[in-house]
Structure 1
Amino acid sequence: MSESDPQSEPAQLTVVLPDGSELHVDEGATVEDCAYEIGPGLGRDTVAGKLDGDLVAKEQPAYDGAELEIITDQSEEYLAVMRHSASHCLAQAVERHYDDVDLAIGPPTDEGFYYDFDNLDIDEDDLAALESEIADIVDEDYEIEREEVSIEEAEERLADEPYKLELLSEFADENEQVTFYTQGEWEDLCAGPHVDSTGEIGPVKLLEIAGAYWRGDEENPMQTRIYGTAFEDESDLENFLERKQEAEKRDHRRIGNEMNLFSIQDVTGPGLPLYHPPGKTVLKELEDFVEDLNKDAGYDYVETPHVFKTDLWHRSGHYENYQDDMFIFNVGDDEFGLKPMNCPGHAAIFQDQSWSYRDLPIRYAENGKVYRKEQRGELSGLSRVWAFTIDDGHLFIRPDQIEQEVEEIMDMIIDVLETFDLEYEMALATRPEKSVGSDEIWEHAEEQLETVLEKRNLEYDIEEGDGAFYGPKIDFAFEDAIGRAWDGPTVQLDFNMPDRFDLSYVGEDNEEHEPVMIHRALYGSYERFFMMLIEHYEGKFPFWLAPEQVRVLPISDANLGYAYQVANEFDDFRVEVDDRDSTLERKIRAAHDDRVPYQIIVGDNEEEDGNISVRDRFEDQEYDVEIEDFHDHLVAERDEQRSEPDFLQD
């Protein structure tokens, strides 16, 4: 055959690059081959790749039509690749120091990595020795070699690793070969990707030891999990450790105990918080704030029970999607479930009446308690619980009302976030591949959400395909005082629930039409938001939220009568008198430790002049303050929901 004979040329495939251009390469070309086709420099710098958004090893073959991104040490994903390699160094160090350890899994995380082990007896004091061993492994600069082997060979190599064999049995259903990564004397079954050698791993710090169930299932054995982190340079690691130390200082579990806000007790069950009077005081203020917003926006409050027959959950679609996360039980011949969401109950209320187009929008609100059966090992304070309350809102509207209603919800959400001085970002999440509803409805809904964002001249990202299966949404994310990101409020359009519940209204044409349902929550869950506020403010709540707003400190027992007289002047606030037999210095220190926004100090001079001295949590103090002037200031500070005590800051 001649060289130009097409049969002598290898088959081609096409990949799509991030800028939308197409790259044509030979069939079987790897991610690294594709990088070299783009340019030799990029080929040499390639660490890994992303195929259709999935992080893969650079040796992974590309496939026709894939969206390809090349990962180098300048890429955002590089840190995850390096941390994955650091987790292997941890496992190698553990096996050097401990005999008969069984390996489980060791993935990277947002803040570092972990590795799970069985048959490992270790405590926090042992981490320093492991860190030193990891440093030696990094210094040895072992080449990290990738090897593809058959399932049969993998079984032989993993004969003494029961957890790896379990993983292998799952891989065998989909693959003829699997990959091992080897560094020095140590190897692991792993899909990768990894850096080229251990010497490329930056400084590593082991953080803590915890228990974790194999595969997250509490029916499985409890394993030992070692958490660590790694960064490209020492300064980044130091900054992380400083932020971590600050986060630990703000831990809501510790502050919640110190301030008597809540408890989670063994006798009541895991993930079931008990709110003590100070904690419930804060929650009540949060509830009142949202209820005022809802009242102004025309919401009607409804109430739904904690438990429903599972017929409702079958109809709503939650049974098939949330069954494993629901608490389900039988009463006689009927099956019931604690509600994981409030929306089906609200749809049932709407369905119980006949509606005209003139009646819409219908807006329901409920501070509804819901229940999710999270794994016990994942429960943590108020951040992940079994029982939590959503400040839920569901609207039933005509399609032509989408824009106006979303705009009003945005006003409410932004009001909430700005009240707490939270910096936020927004994203428009569009139709996912698996979805319900016509193209026309989706396009119209996405356009209307986009119009709301554009009209407000707001910056936002587009999250392609990240909408709910029932409709597009606007997601809010915000940062707390130390820069941690939190998922925030959301506005979601739903074309699924109205269809499942046969919801309808009579239109202007006297025909039945299906409403659009909007899901919205201004906080999300009270538990998660309360947790975030505790840590955001380090327990030093704004005056309007503080469980105790003012504490009156008599200098001596002789001033007790005047102290109670002054307290009565502030009885429209949460005020206490410290009547203990103690020195003023100790009383001031106690009020400061209890994070009380204001202290009123009264002694002989104040009693004689009929005034007070005022001290704030910043340890500033002013003497000869008129009672009426301070009272008027507190009224304004409370009603305006100011973020910091500012009587002495003017």
Structure 2
Amino acid sequence: MSESESEPESAESIAVVLPDGSELEVPEDATVEDCAYEIGPGLGRDTVAGKLDGELVAKEEPVSDGVELEIVTDGSEAYLRVMRHSASHCLAQAVERHYDDVDLAIGPPTDDGFYYDFDNLEIDEADLADLEAEIEEIVEADYEIEREDVSIEEAEDRLADEPYKLELLSEFADENEQVSFYRQGEWEDLCAGPHVDSTGEIGAVDLLEIAGAYWRGDEENTMQTRIYGTAFEDESDLEEYLERRQEAQERDHRRIGNEMNLFSIQDVTGPGLPLYHPPGKTVLKELEAFVEDLNEDAGYDYVETPHVFKTDLWHRSGHYENYEDDMFIFDVGDDEFGLKPMNCPGHAAIFQDQSWSYRDLPIRYAENGKVYRKEQRGELSGLSRVWAFTIDDGHLFVSPEGIEAEVEAIMDMIVDVLETFDLEYEMALATRPEKSAGSDEIWEQAESQLESVLEKRDLEYDLEEGDGAFYGPKIDFAFEDAIGRSWDGPTVQLDFNMPERFDLSYVGEDNEEHRPVMIHRALYGSYERFFMMLIEHYEGNFPLWLAPEQIRVLPISDANLEYASEIADRFDAFRVEVDDRDSTLERKIRAAHDDRVPYQIIVGDNEEEAGNISVRDRFEDQEYDVEIDAFEAHLEAERDEKRTEPDFLQ
């Protein structure tokens, strides 16, 4: 709607809610752009897109009564996502200019850039430079990006030669009488938007890599060619991103895991099923011991549940109806079984097996429990996304009156873990998802309890609407690694549903049966994902307490081997090795550095005669004539205090 346009006096009005909580009255057929003009002509002209109840939409999208509206301009946080969506269209246009008979699939923006999927496209990394050059020409041509709404019938005619677009159209047709196309120059695409106004508004573009992807993420469908790219408003932002990406690749846990012999994922085991080698298992054991000490101090009892249960349990817990597609399910005789996707139903079954009094509560169970999720093969990646992973799980059964105290205690444990690794973190309250179990009353009660804890402690947190577990809301902790990437990790979840489903009870002070509340918590999230993050965060240079090999003794010559062995025995409370190879000291030092050993002890004739050692750390600092007792005392303190860096020579 332009500034000069006006609405008929008879038009009925609706109200939209603006970010500051105020309401704006607009005609009932108003669009996002119309609303922007109502606020002010300058905002109307600058509008690129909008958010309706948090969902990014085109500026042509109609609004509805009571919807929360946010206008997106080129100064908005969401603008980059809109621009990247337009960049994906430029990629598809460039591909169709260079290759014949290509079938288009989908091309959405992502958090870091965009991608587009193609069928019947044979391409390799060397071809990306030509496509980038074509994209630059499309951007320089400054084609107007025009939206056109057409009938389903006309859309079918336009897409007659595009089988994947026709499949998408058939889904849109069930809900819409019209669909939208976006045209730029000679090229158009079925798309809901939003997009920038012209290709000239797209900044710096870089095509990153080529990968395979199943159509709609289903392994039964065609494997397509996916081209990943990214786009920023200017070259400096792009260069900064590419530098961060390069650093992330250098820290890739799969490469470092192979170099340090930490783990492998082999064809013989199947995808997403990691094998932990001795050095990797050493790190995991230290992580487990840390959590077990925290659990012991907090009054948890360890339990163990099997890897597989009859699906009767999963029907009862609600996992079957909510997780069936992600579960490994099989028949044994007349019974159906499933590998456990979560540990909580097993813990509920243990609680159910006994009678409890209010005096017994809270009951706190802990288990390093292996669980299984049937992720799509194309989504599996190292330890970050696997089929089999281990959760440092805890489940508490508490009275309603005990909820806040237990949640606060759990949050203290989580903070202890994150601060031990010197990780900065943020919190979020995740509320009821669309697919969930339980009544509105139960969810409102659970959400208000968690919110109360956060408010009582005056903590800053984000609200993530719809991101809760299917059985209850949760407080999630996200932490930042050494290069600024954010990772999901620890969580505490409140659950009023599982106790209902398992008919759990305890006898209260009034001698009547009462329903306990179940609290789910994990201090790491999962060992696999946390281990992966630590590998990349430290770039394999683990703190002393975690390092698979903590000390390496380097004899200068064979004549010093016996003394080197004596020194190794002296430090047998640590993970220590002697490099007894027939090699130069310089090569031994380089090997220890490459193997990321925190400390090297160097012994030669001078050290042996004086009865002391020389110490070198991973920062290549070295000190001579070190007293053995002094170094041993320092190592014990550094290990026991879980310091994040070797600091004897700092």
TM-score (ref. length: structure 1): 0.97
CA distance in 2, matches of 1:446, 1:323: 26
> 1:274 corresponds to which residue?
275
Q: Distance in 2 between matches of 1:551 and 1:7?
A: 84
Q: Distance in 2 between matches of 1:144 and 1:82?
A: 12
- Letter of the structure 2 residue corresponding to residue 560 of structure 1: L
Instruction: Establish whether residue 593 from structure 1 lines up as the match of residue 586 from structure 2.
Output: no
**Alignment match, 1:508:** 509
Residues 433 and 322 of structure 1: CA distance in aligned 2, closer, same or farther (over 3 Å): closer
Of 435-444 and 512-521, more deviation after overlay is shown by: 435-444
Cα distance in 2 for residues equivalent to 1:63 and 1:352: 51
Aligned to 1:147: 148
Provide the C-alpha distance between the structure 2 equivalents of 1:245 and 1:451, rounded to a whole number of angstroms: 42
> 1:321–1:432: structure 2 CA closer, same or farther, 3 Å change rule?
closer
1:457 shift after superposition: 3.8
Verify the 8 A CA contact 1:16 1:67 in the aligned structure 2. Answer: yes
- Structure 1 CA distance, aligned partners of 2:500 and 2:556? 68
Task: Write the distance in 1 (CA, Å) between the matches of 2:620 and 2:559.
Answer: 25
Task: Quote the sequence identity (%).
Answer: 88
Q: Which residue in the other structure is 1:3 paired with?
A: none
> Per-residue deviation at 1:638?
0.6
Residue in structure 2 matched with residue 254 of structure 1 by the alignment? 255
Q: Does 1:544 align with 2:545?
A: yes
User: Helix, strand or coil: the match of 1:590?
Assistant: helix
Spell out the pairing of 1:131-280 with structure 2 (5 A cutoff): 131-280=132-281
Q: How far apart, CA to CA, are the structure 2 residues paired with 1:115 and 1:440? A: 43
**What 5-or-longer segments of structure 1 have no aligned partner?**
1-5
- 2:637 maps to 636
Displacement after TM superposition at 1:391 (Å): 0.2
- Assess if the C-alpha contact under 8 Å between 1:402 and 1:445 holds in 2: no
1:44 equivalenced with 2:38 (yes/no): no
SS state of the match for residue 139, structure 1? Answer: helix
How far off its partner does 1:206 sit? 0.4
Partner residue in 1 for 2:3: none
Query: By how many angstroms is 1:10 displaced?
Result: 1.6
Q: 2: CA distance between counterparts of 1:438 and 1:103?
A: 43
Alpha-carbon spacing, 1:244–1:571, altered in 2? closer, same or farther (3 Å) = same
1:95-110 aligned at under 5 Å gives the runs 95-110=96-111
C-alpha distance in 2 between matches for 1:324 and 1:437: 21
Task: Say if 1:104 and 1:440 are closer, same or farther in 2 by CA, change over 3 A.
Answer: closer
* Counterpart Cα distance in 1 of 2:467 and 2:312: 29
Residues 407 and 8 (structure 1), Cα distance of their counterparts in 2 relative to 1, 3 Å cut: closer
Displacement of 1:514:
0.4
**Which residue number corresponds to residue 398 of structure 2?**
397
> 2-side partners of 1:180 and 1:130: how far apart?
23
Letter of the 1:562 counterpart: Y
Deviations 1:259-289 (CA, angstroms, capped at 9, x unpaired): 0000000011000000000000000000000
1:523 aligned counterpart, secondary structure: coil
Q: SS where residue 647 of structure 2 aligns?
A: coil
Are 1:74 and 2:75 counterparts?
yes
In the other structure, the counterpart of 2:345 is 344
> 1 CA distance for matches of 2:434 and 2:60?
28
> Is structure 2 residue 440 aligned with structure 1 residue 419?
no
- CA displacement at 1:436 relative to structure 2: 5.7
Amino acid corresponding to residue 557 of structure 2 in structure 1: S
Q: Deviations over 1:104-142 (max 9, x none)?
A: 000000000000001111111111110010000000000
**CA shift for structure 1 position 66:** 1.6
Distance 1:461 1:386 in 2: 30
- Structure-2 change in CA distance of 1:238 and 1:266 (3 Å): same
Q: 1:442 to 1:26 in 2, by over 3 A?
A: closer
1:577 and 2:578 are equivalent in the alignment:
yes
**Equivalent runs, 1:396-475 vs 2, <5 Å:** 396-430=397-431, 445-464=446-465, 466-475=467-476
Q: Show the counterpart of 1:562.
A: 563
- Secondary structure of the residue aligned to 1:43 is helix
Range with greater deviation from structure 2 (270-279 or 149-158): 149-158
Using the alignment, how far apart are the partners of 1:447 and 1:325 within structure 2?
30
* Greater shift in the superposed pair: 354-363 or 64-73: 64-73
Q: 1:80-106 CA distances to partner (integer Å, 9 max, x unpaired)? A: 000000000000000111111110000
Measured in 2, the distance between the counterparts of 1:561 and 1:433 equals 68
Provide the rounded CA distance (Å) in 2 between the counterparts of 1:553 and 1:77: 55
User: 2:524 aligns to what?
Assistant: 523
SS of residue in 1 equivalent to 2:525: strand
The amino acid of 2:201's aligned partner reads E
Kindly provide the amino acid, as one letter, of the partner of residue 460 in structure 2: E
Report if aligned partners of 2:431, 2:468 keep a CA contact under 8 Å in 1.
Answer: yes
Aligned residues: 644
In structure 2, distance between residues paired with 1:149 and 1:455: 53
| Structure 2 SS opposite 1:110 | coil
Q: Deviations over 1:348-375 (max 9, x none)?
A: 0000000001000000000000000000
SS at match of 2:524: strand
Moved more, 472-481 or 500-509: 472-481
Bigger drift between 492-501 and 452-461 goes to: 452-461
- How many Å apart are 1:458 and its aligned residue? 2.7
Of residues 83-92 and 455-464 in structure 1, the stretch that sits farther from structure 2 once superposed is 455-464
CA-CA distance at 1:501 after TM superposition: 0.2
- Once the two structures are overlaid, the 10-residue window that deviates more, 365-374 or 431-440, is 431-440
The C-alpha deviation readout for 1:52-103, integer Å capped at 9, x for no partner, is 2221111111122221111101111100000000000000000111111110
| AA partner of residue 114 (structure 2) | F
Provide the rounded CA distance (Å) in 1 between the counterparts of 2:460 and 2:11.
Answer: 47
Provide closer, same or farther for how the CA distance between residues 154 and 436 of structure 1 changes in structure 2, counting only shifts above 3 A: closer
- 1:432 CA displacement: 5.7
Structure 1 segment 303-342 matched on structure 2, within 5 A: 303-342=304-343
Is the contact made by 2:351 and 2:504 (CA closer than 8 Å) also made in structure 1? yes
Write the distance in 2 (CA, Å) between the matches of 1:330 and 1:431: 33
Give the Å deviation of 1:257.
0.2
Q: Is 1:357–2:358 an aligned residue pair? A: yes
Q: Which residue of 1 aligns with 2:487?
A: 486
Aligned 8 A contact 1:602 1:612 in 2: yes
Q: Report the residue type matching 1:104 in the other structure.
A: A
Name the structure 2 match of 1:627: 628
Q: CA deviation at 1:463?
A: 3.6
Give, in angstroms, the shift of residue 382 of structure 1. Answer: 0.2
Residues 209-240 of structure 1, C-alpha deviations (whole Å, 9 max, x = no match): 00000000011010000000000111111110
Residue type matched to 1:167 in 2? L
Any unmatched runs of 5+ in structure 2?
1-6
Q: Distance in 1 between matches of 2:228 and 2:365?
A: 44
Q: In angstroms, what is the RMSD of aligned CA positions?
A: 1.5
TM-aligned CA distance change 1:8 to 1:78, over 3 Å: closer
Letter in 2 for 1:109: T
Give the distance between the partners of 1:314 and 1:406, measured in 2 at CA.
28
* TM-score, normalization by structure 2: 0.97
CA displacement at 1:450 relative to structure 2: 3.8
- State whether residues 612 and 626 of structure 1, in contact with CA within 8 Å, keep that contact through their aligned partners in structure 2: yes
Residue identity matched to 2:79 = Y
2:4 equivalent in structure 1: none
Amino acid at match of 1:333: D
User: Which residue of structure 2 aligns with residue 618 of structure 1?
Assistant: 619
Q: Distance in 1 between matches of 2:111 and 2:275?
A: 31
User: In structure 1, what is the Cα distance between the partners aligned to 2:56 and 2:441?
Assistant: 34
CA change 1:7–1:246 in 2 (3 A) is closer
CA distance in 1, matches of 2:469, 2:90: 39
Segment of structure 1 superposing worse, 200-209 or 459-468: 459-468
Q: Partners in 1 of 2:110 and 2:442 — Cα distance?
A: 38
CA contact (8 A) 2:85 2:195 kept: yes
Contact 2:112 2:230 in 1 (8 A): yes
* DSSP-derived class of the 2:305 partner: coil
